[in-house]
Amino acid sequence: MAANRRGEPTHGGAPFALLHPAAGGPRLYALSPEAAIAKLRAGLGLADARAICPSLVLADAAPARDREALEALTLWCGRYTPWTAVDGDDGVILDVTGCAHLFGGETALVADVVQRLAAFGFAARVAAASNPHAAWAWARFGAGGVLPAKLQAAALLALPVAALRLPEPMVAGLARLGFRTIADLERVPAAPVMARFGALPIERLHLVRGRTRQPFTGFAAPARYAVRFAWAEPLATTEGLEAALTEALTRLCGQLEQAEEGVRRLVLELARLDGAVHRLERRTSLASRDAAALARLFQEDLAALDVGFGIECLRLAATETERLRARQVDLPGNGGGGSEAEALARLVDRLSVRLGPARVQRLQPQDSHRPERAQLLVPAVEGAAGATAWPERGPRPLRLLDEPLRLTAIAELPDGPPLRLCLGPAVLPVAAAAGPERIAPEWWRCPDAPSHDYYRLDLEDGRRWWVRREGTYGDTPPPSWSLAGVFA
């Protein structure tokens, strides 16, 4: 169904498989149900597959695209629970603890998942159990659906050993010794099995039975502050989406206000009726809970959004926040002009959205005394502006030269400022000077580098230069002079 909708060729009911390059030649990567009925299996070599099923239709596999599609499906499953995770190459795990009742219970939730995935063209096997390993086993080797807790132990024991998610050679080895079901493995002491096959079979047995647990790592950690809307009739207009986003932002900012937090990163997810999910992320240069200003950051993208058959679900989350206490912003003198700073931040945010974050930058101080390394250009919306205090240093020029300009100088020995500079044939007398400011080398970078002495010079023609002397008189080679920067 999905291939038909995209206009891609299909196998027309014949056995069909995807090929993937491997050591020793191409091997089957994935199979259609018809190919599985023909006794083919994933991992089988091409020559053997042709011998077993001469009518097999083949196509090249695209694992990277499969992974992208699986991650997109995992993102779509966020409509059911904030805890979702990619499971191997062909599965998605949902932790629906505390969420199932919102959909009428586990049985109704499972039915809804199957129905929606079928509409997207996916034939899915869905199972619900008390732990993810039991659900994995019941979906692939059991009947699927909801596995009641009181029936779970007996149902799992009847499954084959492969349901423990063991490597195929290990499953074959266990079968040769008579371990064909989980019950066979359960009734023997663990020590002989571990001596022959290692600890993995017993570890997986305990996980499936729920005796031990593994930590669940979600595809994306649920946000502390989030809002979700779902509609029976999908939204298909820009105006409707903007209204829904404004309402979501108003509610989200209300949550942030109660917690005295401000948002620094927003993630908006819009689930289309056909299963695609649009994910828009915005950062702010300052913590904010101004719903109107935040809505404007998404305005252009919403206007150009391809909504397909409509948007059926909206999820908005503040994935990064900072402390933002309530304060008065309408009166002058309320703590250093906070309203001006917020207006500048809103301008920076909108320019970053329109031009791209890499094109709107600010200077950030670095731990270095060397002027050329003391600051770094970073995107203005990343980090916290002002979070790192600028160190107290001597006066610095407005502009530093990328490459210092070589000069010759006449100066008093040993550390007197220049009296006259020469730039090519031009002679530049010095009217006033201050310095030197000595900056030692960073020994961990270049232990043999000479120290630098910097002088602030006022030339007779009115220019103000920052001149650097590299080395000291009496050393070999003699010191050199250069123009490092220009004051305003």
pTM over 0.95: no
- Is the pLDDT at 461 greater than 80? The verdict is yes
Looking at the structure, do residues 94 and 186 belong to the same domain, yes or no?
A: yes
Is there a domain that residue 220 lies in? Answer: no
Q: What is the mean predicted confidence (pLDDT) over 137-164?
A: 92
Same structural domain, 344 and 446? no
- Establish if 219 belongs to a structural domain: no
247 plus 365 within the same structural domain: yes
The reply to whether 361 falls in a domain is yes
Confidence (pLDDT) at 328:
61
Same domain as 420, residue 380: no
Select the more confidently predicted residue: 286 or 151: 151
Q: Say what the pLDDT of residue 4 is.
A: 45
258-275 average pLDDT score = 89
Which of the four pLDDT bands, split at 50, 70 and 90, describes residue 119? Answer: confident
| Same structural domain, 40 and 110 | no
pLDDT of residue 111: 93
Amino acid identity for residue 114 in this structure: V
Q: Is 352 exposed, middle or buried (0-12, 13-18, 19+ CB in 10 A)?
A: buried
**CA-to-CA distance for 47 and 51, rounded, in angstroms?**
6
The tokens for 281 are 């992320």
Query: Domain boundary residue among 370, 389, 408?
Result: 389
Tell me the C-alpha distance between 362 and 359, whole Å: 10
Between 344 and 437, name the one with better pLDDT.
437
181 assigned to some structural domain:
yes
What's residue 379's pLDDT?
82
Residues 383 and 468 in one domain: no
How far the first Cα of the chain sits from its last, in Å, is 68
Q: Is 84 exposed, middle or buried (0-12, 13-18, 19+ CB in 10 A)?
A: buried
263 burial (CB, 10 Å; 0-12 / 13-18 / 19+) is buried
Domain end (from 31, 46, 61): 61
Domain span holding position 423: 399-486
Residue 7's pLDDT is what? Answer: 46
More confidently predicted of 247 and 341: 247
Closest CA to 32 of 12, 62, 52, 6: 12
Do residue 364 and residue 274 come from a single domain?
Answer: yes
The pairing of strands 261-272 and 311-323 is: antiparallel
Q: What is the mean pLDDT of the chain?
A: 85
Reported confidence tier of residue 409, pLDDT bands at 50, 70, 90: confident
83 and 53 together in one domain? no
> How would residue 156 be classed by pLDDT, with cut points 50, 70 and 90?
very high
Residue 308 pLDDT > 90: no
| Burial (Cβ within 10 Å: 0-12, 13-18, ≥19) of residue 389 | exposed
Statement to judge: residues 262 and 317 lie in one domain:
yes
**ω before 54 within 30° of 0 (cis)?**
no
Q: How many residues comprise the chain?
A: 488
Statement to judge: residues 70 and 57 lie in one domain: no
* Sole residue written with tokens 């908006």: 268
Token digits of residue 424: 């090519």
State the CATH number of the domain containing residue 25: 3.40.1170.60
Above 90 in pLDDT, residue 22?
A: no
pLDDT band at 395 (very low <50, low <70, confident <90, very high): confident
- What's residue 411's pLDDT? 84
- Give the residue from 37, 61, 85 where a domain finishes: 61
Same domain, 256 and 362: yes
Regarding whether 379 and 318 lie in a shared domain, the answer is yes
Per-residue pLDDT, averaged over 283-295, amounts to 88
* Inside any domain, residue 217: no
- What is the per-residue pLDDT for 8? 52
Number of domains comprising the chain:
4
